[in-house]
């Protein structure tokens, strides 16, 4: 099972250890290309624990993490220090400050290929879709 191309919004942690499923090989063995807006500090490893506690068979990469400050502790280190340490196979993952609600809604609409119809707009009192 792979978590891929999802949006996790307003969660306590994006992906982190200790999580029970990390002990079971072959289940939830990938976390890639996700967008995560976290409002919490996560579990012991931070709001996003990268691959520091995972079996090497797991794929963790190309995720976009958003925190209030645009920084976080990962595996006991500052974000930049963890990724500069060459201890991680988590390539392409980035961290940013929180997006606006409007941006987040636009991302969700794009992910779902959601284009409101004219009829839908009429049903909702003429409210135009966010663009």
Spatial distance between the Cα atoms of 129 and 115, rounded to a whole number of angstroms? 8
Spatial distance between the Cα atoms of 12 and 96, rounded to a whole number of angstroms? 16
Number of domains present in the structure of the chain: 1
| CB of 124 closer than 8 Å to CB of 93 | no
Residue-level pLDDT at 55: 77
Domain-embedded: residue 6? yes
Residue-level pLDDT at 17: 54
CA 111 to chain CA mean position, Å: 14
Domain-embedded: residue 29? yes
Among 18, 54, 14, 19, CA closest to 37? 14
> Which domain, by its residues, includes 84?
2-99
Domain-embedded: residue 56? yes
Domain-embedded: residue 106? no
User: What is the full per-residue pLDDT of the chain (131 aa) written as tens digits?
Assistant: 788 999 999 988 887 655 555 555 555 688 899 999 998 776 555 788 888 877 778 889 999 999 999 998 888 888 899 888 888 889 999 999 999 999 999 999 999 988 765 445 544 454 444 44
Residue-level pLDDT at 19: 54
Domain-embedded: residue 59? yes
HSE-up of residue 106 (Cα within 13 Å, Cβ side): 7
pTM for this structure? 0.77
């Amino acid at each position: 099972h792979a978590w891929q191309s999802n949006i996790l919004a307003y969660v306590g942690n994006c992906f982190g250890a200790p999580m029970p499923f990390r002990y079971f090989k072959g289940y939830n063995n990938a976390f890639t290309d996700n967008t995560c807006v976290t409002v919490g500090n996560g579990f012991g490893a931070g709001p996003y624990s990268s691959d520091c506690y995972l079996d090497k068979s797991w794929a963790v990469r190309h995720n976009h993490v958003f925190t209030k400050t645009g920084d976080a502790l990962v595996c006991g280190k500052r974000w930049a220090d963890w990724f500069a340490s060459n201890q991680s196979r988590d390539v392409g993952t980035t961290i940013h400050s929180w997006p606006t609600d409007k941006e987040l809604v636009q991302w969700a609409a794009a992910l779902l290929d959601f284009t409101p119809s004219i009829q839908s707009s009429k049903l909702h009192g003429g409210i135009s879709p966010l663009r």
